[in-house]
Amino acid sequence: FSPEYENHETTTSAMLDVIEKYAYDSRDLRAKLTAEMRSFRNCEGSFGRRTAVEDRTEVLPGKIS
C-alpha cells in the first residue's frame, strides 16, 4: 500500500471485484471487508502500529512468510 493506492483505479476496482466475488451473498461481510480497507488506508487499529505503517512500502503482499 502506498498513498497513491487510491489513484490507481484498476487496483481499487480489482479489490472490490475480489470482495464482491467472495462475499457476494453477504451484505454484512462486504461491509466488514470495505471497513477493513478503510481502516488500512487510515492506519486505524492494528494497521496504525509502527511496524504496519513502516512496512507498507517495504513488504509486498504474498511475500510474508
Secondary structure letter of residue 25 according to DSSP: T
Q: No. of H helices and E strands in the chain?
A: 3, 0
The grid cell for 13 is 476496482
pLDDT of residue 31: 93
The domain segmentation of the chain, as residue ranges, is 3-52
**Can you list the residues of the chain whose pLDDT is less than 50?**
none
Q: Is the pTM of this model over 0.85?
A: no
